[in-house]
Amino acid sequence: MAVPTVRLRNGVEHPLIGYGTYKIGFVPASSNSASEPGHSPDQDPAEIIKDAIACGYRYIDCAQFYGNEKVVGKAISESKVPRGDLFLVSKVWGDKIYEGREAILEQLEQTLRDLGTDYLDIYLVHWPVPGKHVAAYQVLEEALEAGKIRAIGVSNYTREDYEELKAVARVLPVVNQIEVNPFLWRKRTYDYFTAEGVVIQSYRALRQGKEMGNACVAEVAKKHGKTAAQILGRWCVQRNIVLVAKTVHRDRMLENMGVFDFQLDEDDMLKLDSLTTPDSLAVSCWGRAGDGLMGCWQEFKALYDKCVVRDTPLAQLEPSAQGVKKEILLD
């Protein structure tokens, strides 16, 4: 099945659905959910990714932080799918962003070696590390000129981060990868970046499978003869938000791809939009288990504050000395 695309500001066609490789074969020690494995130990990580490629995924979402790009490269090589048919995206992590130009360029070369390619379709700044992310982005502009990457993107950027970058960038980013879904519908953020010509990529678009029993989602799913996951996915792609789907099960990989053969009507979209409440913009919810909370509910701003300095020396400083933005657009 040919996957629909959205055109980026540089004219490149970006697949509207991709496969997320986080926690496949490796769980980062500083992950917010480091105690939760990504799959059962009897599953071969490379085979999982090969399944995704066999199911039709061509946009493969990677990152230095994920620690598994060699595994992804192995899967790509064994899949026999031509490089030109794939859309490979990776991200440089905060430690290298903090260290600066040489560390960033060395990491890019490592990523290219691990993935078995001589270019990336997009390379992203993973988090806007205070005082460092703009210079890091300028290094990616060098890599763009050198032909190592076809486009530059950002991830987890707020409006304020983007405006800081925009003031000096020679080449503007084509994407911003953020958490967005009906339960965390950051409409003003979406509207802002869309107006700026930046396409949104969504991680946790399917809420890590923890809202599949939601009554509203179930009602819309029944109406269309679709699954809850397909409704959440369709909500994204209908807005030209790129859906980064993550599962280690082949049947669900196929299920998640089934978002292009139906439309949600205006009433459906309004119902789903209403799942975001003022409280959900104040907290980032990791889901429920039974009658209790699963994991830790963290204030959205607090999560941002933590992640922009994670794995950098800034994390060891007092919050007042870290340089983290005090006021950002949350919704």
Q: Which residues are catalytic?
A: 66
Burial class (CB in 10 A: 0-12, 13-18, 19+), 110: middle
Residue among 107, 98, 174, 175 at smallest CA distance from 134: 98
State the Cα–Cα distance between residues 266 and 320, nearest whole angstrom: 45
Q: How far is CA 246 from the centre of its chain?
A: 10
